[in-house]
Every structure is written in structure tokens, then in C-alpha cells.
Amino acid sequence: MKTELLSADAPDAARRAVALLAAGELVGIPTETVYGLAADATDGAAVARIFEAKGRPRFNPLICHVPDLAMAATLAEIGPVAAMLAEAFWPGPLTMVLPLKEGSPVHPLATAGLATVAIRAPQGIAGRLAAALGRPLAAPSANPSGRVSPTNAGQVLRGLGGRLPLILDGGPCEVGVESTIVLPEADRLVLLRAGGVGRAELARATGLPVVDPAGDAAINAPGQLTSHYAPSGRVRLDATDVAPGEYLIAFGPAPVAGQDRAAAIVNLSPSGDLREAAAGLFAALAGFDAPEITAIAVAPIPQSGLGEAINDRLRRAAAPRG
């Protein structure tokens, strides 16, 4: 794929970016913190492309970028503390982790199946793109996995060139470090990641204490938590046959031996498309998360491309429970 670098000030920049995003494609976008690798957050296949493009993918939860509090309120529950923070710092380098709203259009691949969603309203063209699209933009930093976050368009091109059709060049990022991530609670703010908004500023704007996650890896790194991905039943991986009464998560066109005995089958991608499988993974696990479902067999998934991330999540779902 040829990657085009286009000035964010070009007259047709926003229109072309939005057309690509609406078609489920990726666009590299400037924000005041770092450049983001953006996709429509409500489109599972588009979000899957993000993980694919970053390479050695892992389905970590992503930040959803919105133009304003009004769109945020269609995605998440906005309590009084969150409203106060948005008033003080949006648009700006502050991300809030908020309870996902019932019926939220954010795709579960963007939240990694969590009950919360990270949201921020960035400055500049990123918010305008989300407004024009009418949907939130999921965007991690636009670097290949394991490399530093890019703060100019040339770095994005060097890191990800060939893996996305368009990068908007908005010049160097003003802030240059990622956004601050906070979890607003009724009487305090939990600082999940230090970033563009300082601790003292957060305290001053809200009058609330700002605390660290206190060694709570569960809050700190939700993407690493087994339990978030695990249905209540036992998960058996690389199943080449199905025991009577087992529920089956299948992949590809080939039948699994004994699959007629399965209580139910969901095929992540009957055609064997890993992007489609990634987009459906968390919904499949959630769909089989019920007290009466005690055993789930999962057919082998190839380890190539997005398969690595799919298998990583499946291994976590299958890990022994603490």
C-alpha cells in the first residue's frame, strides 16, 4: 500500500481523511500530544487494522477521540467529576476512563472488552475529523509496537509507511508526551498515566486529591488482566475435536471433528479472515460467558498477523483462574 503524506492544512485534507475513515481505513493524525493511528472506533474490522498495522499486536484498550463532551456522553457515563474535568481540560491532553454506557457504539475491540472506555477530546484537526465522521476515533500512538511515540509526521511515515493510506501532517506536536490518563471517582482522581496535564493542575481544577493506583495492576494495565477476557466456563484451546455439550468457537471453513455435538457454535470467520476474527473475538467470548456454559472449545487460530494477538487473548481467557 502506498502511504500519502498530506498537509493537514490542505483544503481537501479533512474530507479525504474522513472518507477513508468512513470506509474503515486507517489515517495517521496529528494531535497536540503525539501522532495517532486512527480508525472508526465503532467499526471492529477497522479497529483490528490498527493492531495489525502496529505489528506484534496485542489487543490493549485504545483511547477514543471525540470532538466534545456531547459525543463523549453518547459513549460513556459522565459523572459530575468527569464533567468538571472536561470543562477544565477539553479540548486538551487529558484522557478519562469512564463507565461504558449501555448501548455504547464503541466496538468491544477498542475497549478490549472492558466495561470502561478511555475518552479524550484532542485539540486541532483530530476532533474535527471525529465530528465530521460523526463517530469516535480509536487511536493509539502511531508507532510500531515497541517503538517510541511519534511527534512529527515524518516519524509516522518511517515507522508505519506502507501500512496505511494517509498521514495528515500537522507539524510537530505541541505537547510531545501522551495525554494524562485519570480515573475520576466521586471523591478522588486515580492517576493511571502521567502526561500532558500535571497532577497539580488536576487537583486545582477539581479540589480533589490525586492518588496513584497503589500497585493496583488491575487498574494500571487492564489489557494484561486475564479475568477481563475470561468467560466463566473452562476454555480449551487448539481443539481439534468437540466433546458432547461443549460450546465451540470455530475459525475458518474446515469443520472441527465432532462439531455436530457442540451445544452451540460461533465461527470467528468462516472464510478464515483474521481481521474479521479479531473484530468478533470479544463478542464471542462475552456471548459464551454464562453460568450454564461450563466448557468452551476453541479451534486452532493461525499465529500469523493478527492471529498472534487473538491467541494472546485466548491464552489469557484459558489461563487458570486465581
Which residues define the annotated binding site for ATP? 56, 60, 116, 141, 149, 193, 229
Tell me if 30 contacts ligand TXA by CB under 6 A: no
Cα 283 to chain center, whole Å? 14
CB atoms within 10 A of CB 240: 10
Under rule CB under 5 A, how many of the chain's residues touch Mg ion? 1
Beta bridge partners of 186: none
Determine the 3-state secondary structure of 149 from DSSP: coil
Shortest Å distance, C-beta 141 to Mg ion? 3
Tell me if 141 contacts ligand TXA by CB under 6 A: yes
Decide: 314 and 62 in contact? Cβ < 8 Å: no
Under rule CB under 6 A, how many of the chain's residues touch ligand TXA? 25
Contact with ligand TXA (CB under 6 A): which of 178, 277, 293, 309? 178
Tell me if 106 contacts ligand TXA by CB under 6 A: no
Beta bridge partners of 154: none
Shortest Å distance, C-beta 126 to ligand TXA? 8
Contact with Mg ion (CB under 5 A): which of 141, 155, 179, 180? 141
Decide: 69 and 8 in contact? Cβ < 8 Å: no
Residues 67-96 that bind ligand TXA (CB under 6 A): 95
Contact with ligand TXA (CB under 6 A): which of 14, 18, 25, 33? 33
Shortest Å distance, C-beta 51 to ligand TXA? 10
- Contact letters (x/-) for ligand TXA, 212-251, by CB under 6 A? ----------xx----------------------------
Distances, alpha carbon 72 to alpha carbons 27, 44, 138, 173, in Å: 21, 19, 13, 24
> Given the C-alpha cell 500537522, which residue does it identify?
170
Tell me if 95 contacts Mg ion by CB under 5 A: no
Which listed option, Mg ion, ligand TXA, none, makes contact with residue 62 (CB within 5 to 8 Å by class)? ligand TXA
Instruction: Report how many helices (DSSP H) and strands (DSSP E) the chain contains, helices first.
Output: 11, 15
Shortest Å distance, C-beta 155 to ligand TXA? 13
Tell me if 28 contacts ligand TXA by CB under 6 A: no
Tell me if 181 contacts ligand TXA by CB under 6 A: yes
DSSP result, 222-284? GGG-GGGT--SSEEE-S-SB--TT-EEEE-SSSPPBTGGG-SEEEES-TT--HHHHHHHHHHH
Determine the 3-state secondary structure of 29 from DSSP: strand
Residues that bind ligand TXA in the complex, under the rule CB under 6 A: 31, 33-34, 36, 60-63, 95, 97, 111, 114, 116-118, 122, 139-141, 178-179, 181, 192, 222-223
